[in-house]
Structure 1
């Protein structure tokens, strides 16, 4: 008579033999929503089934969710946003991801279960989305889905990320057309009497982002040592202005060009007069660019002033962010090393500097190509 196996202790699960001859293990495991449910595993032999039981127990002990059935994308994506993205990423990133989940991923592919989602499913989704919207939107949705499935892989809900196996759509890069040197000088000349003149000088000479300009405090500016510290940026999200880390969380100290010192000194004197006139109504947040009451300037108002000055000077209207592109172009044309340009502009990767911002002005290109004429010109006939 075969020796009867000992019964597992409470919480260790059970193994029973089915009528079809296979063995079945049952273990209580953690669910993605925090509850506990019974999970079944099967094996041809008792030993095979016991091994699967132990693996389930190890995951339960480690707090790893093991769904009793494969979750749908419509179930996983909101959980991923609230528990993975929201606590760790910036609010602007969360909002962007949430909009793609709500508008495209859940309505178009949300019924698919994680384990059954295939490469063909992702490819069909991207083709349909590109037809419905644009290639750029489809490309961004692909990135959101790939990131969400990577998190599912880490939590061992799936064994592979099928989105990483699908090539994203190719979107055309926006053609950059920053101002030339002459146009930049014309703009600065026209902006001298504008209250935000110092902000425009910083945008042109240092390539500061709009949020970095609005979030700048006087404690971040050392006019004596001529150093500017980029420590935060100001964004408007959900109707509220708030300070956040700079893009890519890259705080940096940048030498202040000499031509920025005088405008900033003039701006500080003007702000002191406005503060005295405001009296008790002044809300001192320490911001370099503030309203008549000391509050932060609206980011949109900075762009509106920028556009108004450009139009008054008879210049073609560009984005304020294009002034940042123009800064990189002029630095590159002056022969500044790409790595230095990267640090000044606060790029997270050197490839961004090389691929997006290295647009050398036409005169510099003509000078560079003239070297070919000198190198390859016909040798004089030998006597």
Structure 2
């Protein structure tokens, strides 16, 4: 039988309850008292092995902090609402990135993993969650994004001593199958530009198809970064919407704090008849007196004292500052657009808000991504062109550059890709080059040798 050892060393002994007990000092608690952990078993050998394992964890610095570990749902709430919010405030995380984290956490992480304690989470739990997502029709890229969110949250939990291992590193990351690129053809792109001439902000689509910049970068372009004389555009920033926060003391007392459907906040209490005083037969989200009992700030944009939100300019995705040379044909299009915008500014008068934006609303305000997307879809329909994503305009620019024989490294620089492997995806869809290469190899193998001879000479 082991002896009790209150001097900080481990102890193993047979208790009066008939079980063997082990105690290991793993450090100090926040109040300075010894942090002693307990292990219990039916045999001395069992407890001795458990004590030895805990001692190894202590020596390697992998002992969790005292107290009950939070559940995955609890930790994700703290991770998103505190840690990620601070990153957004400091500019290290984009507001749209946090919105995406919240959405995927709400729809997948919490329903599939939320009830597990953080320290009890196992690789098998992640495997099952990812399998469930695939069975429900989610794409492999979506599963990979969820995996990355979980991995980052667990990485922070590991740093803070809430867990002793990051189980996400023990799971093979889901492989994201790159979707087939579906760029528009040269003829389709020309139809779009021709149709756009009669519509407002026509230059928006010339920029998209000629320069291949992303939506946020296009909407974040400012005239001070456009040199029409030199034909240089500095696409250094993008515009994003930062969510508003309630400025009132109690969001529930705010007259603008009622839930709408769908609610964008993480709280889902709006589905219940929380504020209905009678037997309302409607669905919870249609109940006219529904309220949120959890301090939700999802509709803080209507709070009269709202703070911290609105459109903000952020550095573009990637570390480099993207500087582009405009095609000569694009310059008169931009000059005409600037003249038309000046006329709009004159008509708006005092209602014009000057943000120096190249593409703005009729009052000078930043354009919403959703409105820009709708304008693109309407343009495709009006031009009689097949349906395509707005991002396909970027793919079209990359493909057309490759088709014209532009070196892949130059295309990489124009599109602002961090890795050339990303740019190389456009090479396999540039069919004219493939046909040309096929014709050349055919001529080399079966063509007239005398005709090929000059090609072989230096």
**Shared topology, TM-score over 0.5?**
yes
Counterpart residue number, 2:70? 71
Deviation at 1:367? 0.9
Q: 1:1-383 to 2 correspondence within 5 Å?
A: 19-20=13-14, 24-25=24-25, 27-30=27-30, 39-41=35-37, 66-88=65-87, 89-136=93-140, 137-170=142-175, 172-236=177-241, 238=243, 240-248=310-318, 250-355=320-425, 357-377=426-446
Report the secondary structure of 2:102's partner residue: helix
Is the CA contact 1:226–1:258 (under 8 Å) kept in the aligned structure 2?
yes
Q: What RMSD over aligned residues (CA atoms) do the two structures have, in Å?
A: 3.5
Is the CA contact 1:135–1:169 (under 8 Å) kept in the aligned structure 2?
no
Q: Determine the C-alpha separation between the residues in 1 that align with 2:157 and 2:382.
A: 54
Deviation at 1:171? 5.3
Deviation at 1:83? 4.0
Residues 229-256 of structure 1, C-alpha deviations (whole Å, 9 max, x = no match): 1122123465744333222354321122
Report the secondary structure of 1:335's partner residue: coil
Report the secondary structure of 1:270's partner residue: helix
Distance 1:70 1:209, change over 3 A: same
Deviation at 1:379? 8.4
Report the secondary structure of 2:342's partner residue: helix
Give unmatched runs, 5+ long, in structure 2.
15-20, 40-47, 88-92, 244-300, 302-309, 450-458
Deviation at 1:273? 1.8
Distance 1:24 1:120, change over 3 A: closer
Is the CA contact 1:330–1:360 (under 8 Å) kept in the aligned structure 2?
no
Which structure ranks higher in relative contact order (CA pairs < 8 Å, sequence separation ≥ 6)? 2
Which TM-score applies when normalising by structure 1? 0.80
Give unmatched runs, 5+ long, in structure 1.
9-13
Structure with bigger helix share is 1
Q: Determine the C-alpha separation between the residues in 2 that align with 1:55 and 1:73.
A: 27
Deviation at 1:221? 0.5
Distance 1:23 1:177, change over 3 A: closer
Distance 1:23 1:307, change over 3 A: closer
Is the CA contact 1:37–1:68 (under 8 Å) kept in the aligned structure 2?
no
Distance 1:299 1:279, change over 3 A: same
Q: Determine the C-alpha separation between the residues in 2 that align with 1:179 and 1:17.
A: 73
Residues 311-339 of structure 1, C-alpha deviations (whole Å, 9 max, x = no match): 33322232221111000001112222323
Distance 1:53 1:360, change over 3 A: closer
Residues 30-71 of structure 1, C-alpha deviations (whole Å, 9 max, x = no match): 5xxxx9997324798xxx99x899979x99xxxx98243443
Which region of structure 1 is more displaced relative to structure 2, 202-211 or 330-339?
330-339
Deviation at 1:156? 4.4
Which region of structure 1 is more displaced relative to structure 2, 196-205 or 82-91?
82-91
Distance 1:338 1:153, change over 3 A: farther
Which region of structure 1 is more displaced relative to structure 2, 205-214 or 95-104?
95-104
